[in-house]
Amino acid sequence: MMLRIKRVPTVVSNYQKEEAEEDRVGGCGRNCLRSCCIPGSKLPLYAYKKLDKVACAKGLPQHESGEAPIAFLDSLVLGQWEDRVQRGLFRYDVTACETKVIPGRYGFVAQLNEGRHLKKRPTEFRVDKVLQPFDENKFNFTKVGQEEVLFQFEASEDGDIQFFPSAPIDAENSPSVVAINVSPIEYGHVLLIPRILDCLPQRIDRESFLLALHMAAEAGNPYFRLGYNSLGAFATINHLHFQAYFLAVPFPIEKAPTKKVTTLDGGVKISELVNYPVRGLVLEGGNTMEHLSYAVSDACICLQDNNIPYNVLIADCGNRIFLLPQCYAEKQALGEVSAELLDTQVNPAVWEISGHMVLKRKKDYEEASEENAWRLLAEVSLSEERFQEVTALIFEAIASADNGSKDLNEEQEAKPEATDEVKAINNSSHPAIVAGTQECLVLQ
């Protein structure tokens, strides 16, 4: 059996046509990022300094000393984005969309966005395969116009931040680029597309995740977060990309209490979200940025290899990463999601899971409440039992990849203890959630 859901795909580029119109062959003439248009083309280039966070391991604030006083990347994204606003490249003005913090303890954020999904017919998406091969015939980011690309983003050769307002596109080296999302859900909504010309499918690898982490660290703005949706967890384009935007309020998921599970050899602390509707892991710390990055990407690789859909939120300038396996699309395909929830047409991807709910109907916006948000997100979460299974898989994968194999035993010993404890906690808490969910299923 193949699981599919129907949903309206998000239009991220002005060159993203209905699939039927897509097959235009030959001289393209729209200044895209394929071999037809690249020769002679130039784009700004931002080269980031490879942070040496090793010093942090000893608690020395080395990373601070070299920090640029002006948040350069931050300004670059803002300036370039506003430039595209004034050039009229977006489908709507996202700052004209009403938004509010929903009263309640967590401060869920609701936005009414009636325009984002108009003009599109629902398309079928296969949701039971997290890894699917890249399909040249479908829309991908090499087809966007160059005017939608803000800049190239790469590691600096000489270890210093560098910026070139106009640099040739080196097709041989397949640059990573930052492009606008023409259907933004907040100001500054961009896509980071690692090695765009390599046409990688939506699938995390160590190098690409590290790139995303660098972008979060370089921007240095805790309100500029990056997110990732796997296939089956509401990614609509099977071309490797991360998203990011500015929202200057804390996200509910960032406020959720956590409970430490273990600390890896490389200093990465792994905690579990407690008292949040979606079960998930929080990874932070690490002796170097690489330690943290590899721990997260190894966990992601484990999830995708095991065909478990997931979302990732990179918060706090790359210092805190939330990893959220989910099963909503699967439930949806199996007909297990209530009609009321489906009617809202909210696709619970990384932003929604983090507590930023983009609503399509005025009614839902006006009635938005912490309970409603909680109820939707509770459907997204794995069950406690499944979550513990998945967590066990992840720990196994990370532990075997963790460089210091000497602590492997310790790691494995620590794990069951933690798991038992979590179970003990949730044995008593879980029924409360379930009861609440069922009771609340009647939408006002």
Partner 1 sequence: MESQLGLIEQSLNSSYSLWVREALDEIPDNFTITDPCICGHPIVFVSRGFLKMTGYSKNEVIGKNGRVFQGPKTCRRSVMEVREAVREERAIQLNLLNYRKDGRPFWMLFHMCPVFSKEDGRVINFIAVQVPLSRKARRSGSVFCRNGVILSGEGSMINDVVYGSCRKEVRSDSLLELGPVLALDSALDSDVTELEIEEPCEASDLDKIRAASAINRVLSVLTHYSESTGRLVCGKRCYLSALGLLSSSLTISLGRIKQSFVLTDPHLPDMPIVYASDAFLKLTGYSGQEVLGHNCRFLNGEDTDSSTLYQIEESIKMEQACTVRILNYRKDKSSFWNSLHISPVRNASGKIAYFVGVHMEESCNDQGGRGLSPEMRQLSTVGAVKIAVRSSSMGAGSSKS
289-318 positions binding partner 1, by CB under 8 A: 316
Interface pick for partner 1 out of 229, 230, 258, 326 (rule CB under 8 A): 258
Residue 126 C-alpha from the chain's centroid = 19
Distance of CA 305 to the CA centre of its chain: 18
- Touching partner 1, residues 389-408 (CB under 8 A): none
Using the rule CB under 8 A, is 56 a contact of partner 1?
A: yes
State the catalytic residue, choosing from 214, 239, 241, 291. 241
**Segment interacting with partner 1, rule: CB under 8 A, options 94-102, 206-214, 331-339, 401-409:** 94-102
Shortest Å, Cβ 254 to partner 1:
6
Pairing between β-strand 42-48 and β-strand 162-168 as defined by DSSP bridges: antiparallel
Report the C-alpha gap between 192 and 179 in whole angstroms.
7
- Would you count residue 168 as binding partner 1 (CB under 8 A)? no
In angstroms, rounded to a whole number, what is the distance separating the alpha carbons of residues 429 and 240? 38
Q: What is the dihedral of CA 374, 378, 384, 389, to 10 degrees?
A: -130
Count of residues interacting with partner 1 (CB under 8 A): 79
Binding window for partner 1 (CB under 8 A); candidates: 33-41, 264-272, 334-342, 389-397 = 264-272
Determine which residue in the list 72, 174, 205, 206 makes contact with partner 1, applying CB under 8 A: 72
- Closest approach of partner 1 to the CB of residue 124, in Å: 33
- 41, 146, 263, 338: which one binds partner 1 (CB under 8 A): 263
- Please list the helix, strand and coil fractions of the chain in percent, rounded to the nearest 5, in that order: 40, 20, 40
Closest approach of partner 1 to the CB of residue 10, in Å: 20
SS3 call for 278: coil
Q: Distances from the Cα of 370 to the Cαs of 31, 71, 325, in angstroms?
A: 45, 34, 22
The answer for residues whose C-beta is within 8 angstroms of residue 142's C-beta and 6 or more apart is: 32, 33, 34, 196, 197, 199, 239
Q: Look up 430 and say whether it is catalytic.
A: no
Binders of partner 1 among residues 313 to 372 (CB under 8 A) are 316, 319-320
Tell me if 269 contacts partner 1 by CB under 8 A.
Answer: yes
The yes or no reply on residue 250 touching partner 1 (CB under 8 A) is yes
Rounded to 5°, angle at Cα 254 from 252 and 258: 110
Which range binds partner 1 by CB under 8 A, 119-127, 176-184, 254-262, 328-336? 254-262
Instruction: Tell me the catalytic residues.
Output: 241
